[in-house]
Structure 1
Amino acid sequence: MADDAAAKTTRPSTVVPRPLRRAVLAARTRWQACRPHGTPGAPLPPAGPDPDAGRPTGQPGPAAATALWRVRTTVREEPGSLARVCAALAAGQVDILALQTHPLGDRTVDEFLLRTPASLAPDELRRMLTAAGGSATWAERADAHDLVDTPTRVLGLAARTAVDSAELPLALRRLLGRCTIRSVPGDTPQAGTLEGTSLRLPDPAGGEIVVERHHVPFTPTEYARAQALVELDARLGRRAPRDRDALLLPAGQPVTIRRAGEEDLEAALAMHCRCSQRTLGSRYHGPVKDADGYLRHLLSPRFGRTLAVESAAGELVALGHLLWDGDETEAALLVEDAWQRRGIGSELLRRLTGMAREAGSESVYAVTQASNTGMVATMRGLGLPLDYQVEEGTLVVTATLTPAAVAPH
C-alpha cells in the first residue's frame, strides 16, 4: 500500500506506521525462524522424523526415501580438497546432482545440490563434510526447482529481465537464493560493492539496489552474475509487456486490462480526482491529501508490477499493484467509485495473485481497514487459505499460494 513518511524513500508500503504493521505481521512471519537453514559453523536443523527409527537392524528402508539439500562448505584451495569431499559424500551414499565452485584465493566455497538418504541426519551430513576438510558448512532443504542447471537458470532469468524492467528484482532473488532486495533512491554509484552478506549495485532506474543475505556470505562469482543482470537491464532501458486484454464485465461493459508504469501518472492522478474521499482513504490508510504523492512511487517497476483497467472511452478506472516488500509480496487495489461492484477488483486480484505465484512468492497479503468488507470478500473470492491479523483497526489478510490454481472468475 502507500508509504508513510519514513518508508517512502525506500519502498512502497502502507501509511500504517511501520512498527504497527510489523507487529500485525509478526505472528505470520514467525515460521521463517523455523525454516531449515544454517549459519556457518552451527549445527544444521533436523530433517524430520527418521523413517528408519525402530526398524530392525539389517532391514532395508524404502528405496525412494530420499531428500534434496543445497549445501555449501569451504575448503582449502589445494590439490585433492574437492576429491576428499566428494569421496566422503559417496561413502555416505549421497548423490551429487550439481556442483559449483566459488574461488576465494586460498579457499574455495563448494556449493552442492545433493540427494541424500532420508535417514541421513543433517548434523551427520555436516560432520561428514567437516571430516573431509570442509568448514563453515551451511545447508537448507531444496526442491525440484533447484534441479535446473545453473547456466540454464541464468539464461532464463536474463531472458525474463530483457522483456520486463519489473523482473530485475525477482531475477536477482532467484539468482541469489533466499535474500532481501531493496531499491534505495538517491545518487547512483559508479560501481557496485560486495561486503560479506551485502551487495550494493547501481540501479539503472536511479539510486542503488541493496541485496542482503545474512545466513551465508556472497561470493565474487555471485556478485559478478548479479552485476551482469543489472548491466543487461541498463543497456535495454525501460520496457514492459505491451499486451492488452479485452474483458467484458458481468454487466456488459467492455474494459481493457494492461500493464501500467510511470507514464500513466497523469491518468492515475485524474482517476484520483474522480474518487471519493472514502475510497481514497480506504486505499491509502492516511491523509487523503497525500494520496497523489504515492503514485509515482507505486507505478515504478522497481517496486513491483501495476495493472491498469481502462474504460471504452480510454479513461483509467482502476489500478492493481503487486509490490515486492522485501521477501514478502503485497497486493493493493483502487477502483474508481463509479466502477465498483462490477467485478473489476476480483479480476485484478486474481491476476495479481497469478503473477505472484509465477514470481515464486509463497503468499500475498493485503492491508486494509477492518471495516472494509469489500476487500475481505475479494480476498475470500480467491479460494485460497487465508490468515487474518487485526491490530487497532488495521487488518492484514494473507493468502497462501498453494500449488492449486486460484479460483476461476
Structure 2
Amino acid sequence: MTHVKADCRPATSWQRVAAAFHAWRTRRQEHAPPTSDTESPAPESVPGANTLWRMRTTVQEEPGSLAALCGALAGQRVDILSLQTHPLAEGTVDEFLLRGPDGLPASAITTAVASAGGADTWIERADAHDLVDAPTRVLGLAARTALDSAELPLALRQLLGRCTIRSLPAPAGGRAPESLAVEGALDDTVMRLRAPEGGVVIVERPYLPFTPTEFARARALVELDARLGPRLPHGRDVFTLAEGSDITVRRADTRDLEAARAMHDRCSPRTLKLRYHGPVGDADRYLNHLLSPRYGRTLAVQTASGRIVGLGHLLWDGDETEVALLVEDAWQRRGVGAELLSRLVAMAVEAGCSSVYAVTQASNTGMVAAMRGLGLPLDYQVEEGTLVITARLGEAVVRSAEELGSASAS
C-alpha cells in the first residue's frame, strides 16, 4: 500500500485500506519519542573518545571566509576530515565531516561556526560509513544502479541522506507532464526528475534544502538508469521444501507479468482477497505496479517446469518498507511463504531499512504466522478491520542476512 498505488488505480476499497493505514502511521509518528540529541540525555563521555559529525553551513564567497570557519572549529578542538563545496548563486554551502571531542555538544560547534560567519547551519551525528569520500561513494551507487533497476530509489536515498522518494506513474499518454523540463526541476527542499519510464520521481527533504550540486548528481543517476533500460540480477537459488520438492527463487519484474497473471487465475478468490484487500476482479490491475522495480523488489518462486507459484514484494513506501506475499493455493502451508518472507527481510536489511510492515487481515493466519516466524519484535495495529504488523529489524536479522548471502554465494 504505497502512496503510488493510490495514484495509479481507480477508487476501490484498497484506497480505504491505504487511508486507514496512513492515518495510523501519522498518529504513530506524531506520538513517537524525540530522537534529536538535544531532547535525549547524552551518553557519558569516555576519555580520549571522539564523535563524528556531518555539518553544512553557508558562507559568503569572499577571501578568508573559509579560513575563519576553520579557525573557529580548531578553537573547539574539532578536526575537519573532509570538505565539499556546493556553489550557490550567492555564497557557498560548505559540507564538512568533522571529528570532535566526545562530550562536545552540537550547539557548541554551531555557535562557533556562527561566530565565524556561517549561516543556516545544519548538523547531525555521523558514523563510519560517512568516512568514504564523496567520489568513491557516488561511483559505488552508480555501480549498484547499473546492476539492478530496483536500486535507483535506494541509491538516491543514500546519495541525499534522509529523504522521502515517490514515483508517480506516467499519465495516460505515457509521458511526464509537459510542465516538467527535460532536466527536471529543483525547488528548495523538493526535486522532480523525469523517470525513465515516463513518470516522475519526486524527492523531498524538508529538514535541509537541496543544492544544485546534489540535484545534478541525482539527475545523473536517473539518466544512467534510463540509458541502461530494464535489468535484474541473474542469480537464482534452488531450495528444498520439507516435503522434498525443489523450487527456485529468483528476482522478477514486469517481464513476468503474463506468468504472474496466470498464477492469479489459479488462485482462489479467497486467496486473492486476503492478499489485495479489495475486489478480486481488480487484482490483475495491481500487478504491473507491483512488479515494477521502480517501486521495490519482487521475488518469484517457480517450479522445475518454470511455472510461478509464489510472489513476494518488498515495496519502498516513502521512508518505510512494506512486505507482501501471494502463494498459489496448491503451494500454501508448504514453507514457500516463510522462505519468501525471510529473503525479503534480508533484502530490507541490506537496503538499510529499520523495519518492515505487512498489511493483511486477522483471518490471514498464514501471513500472521510467517511474520511471527521471523523471530523479531512485532507491533500490531488494527484499523477498520485491517491488521498492520510491523517487524523491527535488529542485529539478529543482520546476521541472518549475512548467512543467507553466504549460502547464496556458495
- For normalisation by structure 1, the TM-score amounts to 0.90
Cα deviation code 1:55-108 (max 9, x no counterpart): xxxxxx6112x3222111111011111111111111101122221110113311
Answer 1 or 2: which has greater helix percent: 2
Distance in 1 between residues matched to 2:341 and 2:382, nearest whole Å: 21
The answer to whether the aligner puts 1:262 opposite 2:254 as a matched pair is yes
Contact 1:9 1:185 in 2 (8 A): no
Distance in 1 between residues matched to 2:70 and 2:5, nearest whole Å: 53
Cα deviation code 1:176-220 (max 9, x no counterpart): 111111111222352211111111111112211111111111101
Query: What's the CA shift for 1:229?
Result: 0.8
* Aligned counterpart for 1:332 among listed residues 315, 324, 347: 324
Deviates more, 1:323-332 or 1:389-398: 389-398
Equivalent in the alignment of 1:230: 222
Equivalent in the alignment of 2:190: 198
Equivalent in the alignment of 2:407: none
Contact 1:307 1:319 in 2 (8 A): yes
* Aligned counterpart for 2:354 among listed residues 362, 367, 387: 362
- For normalisation by structure 2, the TM-score amounts to 0.90
- 1:277-356 matches, within 5 Å, as 277-356=269-348
Q: Which residues of structure 2 form unaligned runs of 5+?
A: 405-410
Contact 1:98 1:149 in 2 (8 A): yes
Query: What's the CA shift for 1:47?
Result: 6.6
Question: Which 4+ runs in 1 deviate beyond 4 A?
Answer: 1-5, 13-16, 30-33
- Distance change in 2, residues 1:5/1:406 (3 Å): closer
Cα deviation code 1:248-287 (max 9, x no counterpart): 1111111111111111111111111111111111100111
Distance in 1 between residues matched to 2:5 and 2:295, nearest whole Å: 17
* Aligned counterpart for 1:183 among listed residues 154, 159, 167: 167
Contact 2:183 2:219 in 1 (8 A): no
Equivalent in the alignment of 1:24: 24
- Distance change in 2, residues 1:5/1:224 (3 Å): closer
Q: Which amino acid aligns with 1:91?
A: G
- Distance change in 2, residues 1:33/1:100 (3 Å): farther
* Aligned counterpart for 1:244 among listed residues 226, 233, 236: 236
Query: What's the CA shift for 1:397?
Result: 1.0
Equivalent in the alignment of 2:158: 174
- 1:5-404 matches, within 5 Å, as 6-8=6-8, 15-26=15-26, 28-30=28-30, 34-36=34-36, 45=38, 48-49=41-42, 51=44, 62-64=47-49, 66-186=50-170, 187-188=175-176, 189=180, 190-404=182-396
- Distance change in 2, residues 1:289/1:9 (3 Å): closer
Q: Which amino acid aligns with 1:196?
A: D
Question: Identity of paired residues, percent?
Answer: 63
Q: Which amino acid aligns with 1:228?
A: A
Contact 1:25 1:396 in 2 (8 A): no
Structure 1 residue matching 2:294: 3-state secondary structure: helix
Q: Which amino acid aligns with 2:226?
A: A
Equivalent in the alignment of 2:408: none
Distance in 1 between residues matched to 2:18 and 2:241, nearest whole Å: 37
- Distance change in 2, residues 1:15/1:321 (3 Å): farther
Distance in 1 between residues matched to 2:43 and 2:262, nearest whole Å: 62
